[in-house]
Amino acid sequence: MQPEDVGAAIQFLEFCRSFGEIFQIRKGQSEKIVKDITGDRQLREVSSVVAELHANLLSVMENGNYKPLKYPKHGDTWIRKLSKYITDSTLHAKDFILDCLSHGLSGYKNLSPSHKLDVLNSLCDEALSSEKLRTRIEAREGVARQKIRAATEKEKELKERQNDMAKTMGGEIAGNEEANNIFCQIKEAKEVKQAAMNELEERGCVLRSTPVMVDKGVAYWKLDGYCDNNTNILRQEFDKEATMKNQDKWFMFSEDEQKVVENHVTTRSQRPWRKDNRV
């Protein structure tokens, strides 16, 4: 992968990490999409996994259908549909990109990996802004909250029964079949509540990740899964005055270097962070 494409690739992978379930992006699929997009531009066909994701994002924005649409991998229906959507929407795309997309498959293959990533990330951003998607997310969050309330009430009721039984039996409830059954139900209620809380936390809201620290021209991100060692902090160097996209530079750290960075972040933790730099 070219260095100028790293930031855009991370942006897409983080989108998939946060919203993959909603968009039915399977495990390993996002990595394959990045590999296909940034690979050989002279491939004879666009992979079906790339076509399906674009089609799915378009479907979400147009009619709220969350099931992937099947497009023939040799066809270019989804590309022409994409071109029309960008033309009719508020998305900003270079004339060169629109011209390529209007020519279907052959035009899409002429786009550089950087342009393809720009198109894909623009669709991801647009999908997150979709009112239908937000409604869907809020509905699923509502279901999770209902599970938490129901499990909490059940746990409270079961504990009251357990306490009453202990009082009746003088505190000797160990080995009692009914008491054991109540104990198992309490454990189950706790597990249901914890699972719903985890689901709610994972869904969170549609706000993007924010860096752990931002300095002049530099941002530090805590992101898992990009380093081969036991580190998870990445350094992004950017130029706010740059007129071209994908000009950021990204760096990984060794474990010893990360400790230095973490100490640096800790000492600067009281400094207000800029919130306009988000992946």
Last residue of one domain, picked from the residues 129, 161, 182: 129
- pLDDT at position 278 is 44
pLDDT value at residue 12: 92
Of 211, 265, 254, the C-alpha closest to 230 is: 254
What is the three-class DSSP state of 42? coil
Question: Is the overall model pTM greater than 0.75, yes or no?
Answer: no
The position carrying tokens 């494409």 is: 5
Q: What is the pLDDT of residue 34?
A: 93
Q: Is residue 142 part of a domain?
A: no
Residues 197 and 217 placed together within one structural domain of the fold:
no
Instruction: Please report whether residue 277 resides in a domain.
Output: no
Q: Which amino acid is it at 143?
A: V
Q: How many CB atoms lie within 10 A of CB 117?
A: 25
Q: How many domains does the chain have?
A: 3
Q: Which two tokens stand for residue 224?
A: 């898992």
Q: Which parts of the chain have pLDDT scores under 50?
A: 205-207, 243, 273-279
**Residue 228, Cβ neighbours under 10 Å: how many?**
6
Confidence at residue 201, expressed as pLDDT on a 0 to 100 scale? 66
SS3 assignment, position 219: strand
Output Rg (C-alpha) for the chain, integer angstroms: 25
Q: What is the pLDDT of residue 244?
A: 52
120 and 10 belong to one structural domain? yes
Structural domain harbouring 98: 4-129
Domain membership of residue 137 (yes or no) is no
In which element (H, E) is residue 238 found?
Answer: none
Structure confidence at residue 279 (pLDDT)? 44
* 261 CB neighbour count, 10 Å cutoff: 18
